Structure 1
Amino acid sequence: MITKVCFLLVLVAVVFGAPSRPHYGYAPPSYEEPSTYDFNYAVKDDYSGNDFGHEETRDGYDTQGSYYVLLPDGRLQKVSYNVNGDSGFVAEVTYEGEAQYPEYHPAPSYG
């Protein structure tokens, strides 16, 4: 008898848990046409030493862009890239400036 009651409760839960009407959320995106967009951003904070940015443009299957970041050694690393169809990601990395390595002075130890 307990098995029949448990089975009936599970059946009722499944029936009431099933959606009774179609979901009216957003429509799934259509990928028939390739995307077209461009964006950019940049951050330069002299107080914390942050300096980085990114820009990208896409028109159909042609994507071009670049990004840069200030490295801890003082150089600016720039990456320019493009993607044309199925060619894959092609990047060129360049550096501006000379690496600066401050002389190391160990703290005195008191022992």
Structure 2
Amino acid sequence: MTPQRYLPADALQVALGLACLAVAIVAYPVEYEDFPHYSPASVQYQHAAPLVKHLVVEKYAHPKYEFKYGVNDQHTGDIKEQSEQRDGDVVKGQYSLVEPDGTTRTVKYTSDKHNGFNAEVIKSGHATHPPSAPKKAEAPVVFAHQPLGQEHAPLSFAAHEAELGGLGGYDFHQ
């Protein structure tokens, strides 16, 4: 394996300087006065018309619209509507919906640059709840037990003491 050789910093600067010099020599225009039989064809340059920057000015489209929509589904109880008008930066509108308890919630709103967004919520109607089905009356479940009688026999380990007598004389009645 051959060892790699690195150029010292001075040699690298010299090589870079020679490369720059070569580029400068190539870029330098050559005069052909001494060689009349080998002169390049005369070139005439024409300048293009000056570029005119056309500014595209977007026209301001004044926003103005009005819409309405509504749903009235008696089967599901989905009843709602909305309407809105806009003229420039001023928006006015309202929406309403029938809530599950039967009341109607109406929201009237306005919005503009000066006052921001403002809303008024109005709740109308009386809340009604559907009657609930009567509950079936069931007899309460009673858990009862009889108290333990006092006729139980006392516990005795006498039979086991005889079997385990060879265990060092352990007394179970201590």
Which TM-score band (shorter chain)?
0.5 to 0.7
**Higher RCO (CA < 8 A, seq sep 6+):** 1
Percent identical among aligned pairs is 32
CA RMSD of aligned residues (A): 2.6
Letter of the 1:35 counterpart: P
TM-score (norm 1): 0.62
Deviations 1:66-109 (A, max 9, x none): 0011100100000000012242210000011011134545866x
Q: Distance in 1 between matches of 2:61 and 2:101?
A: 44
Give the aligned partner of residue 58 of structure 1. 86
**Higher share of residues assigned strand:** 1
TM-score (norm 2): 0.41
Give the aligned partner of residue 64 of structure 2. 36
Give the aligned partner of residue 98 of structure 1. 126
Letter of the 1:89 counterpart: F
Q: Distance in 1 between matches of 2:130 and 2:69?
A: 31
Deviations 1:27-78 (A, max 9, x none): xxx6944411111101001111110011000000110000011100100000
Equivalent residue of 2:116, what SS? coil
Q: Distance in 2 between matches of 1:46 and 1:102?
A: 15
Q: Give the count of matched residue pairs.
A: 81
Give the aligned partner of residue 88 of structure 1. 116
Letter of the 2:67 counterpart: F
Structure 2: unaligned runs, 5 residues or longer = 1-57, 139-174
- The 1:86/1:106 distance shift into structure 2, 3 A limit, reads farther
Give the aligned partner of residue 72 of structure 1. 100
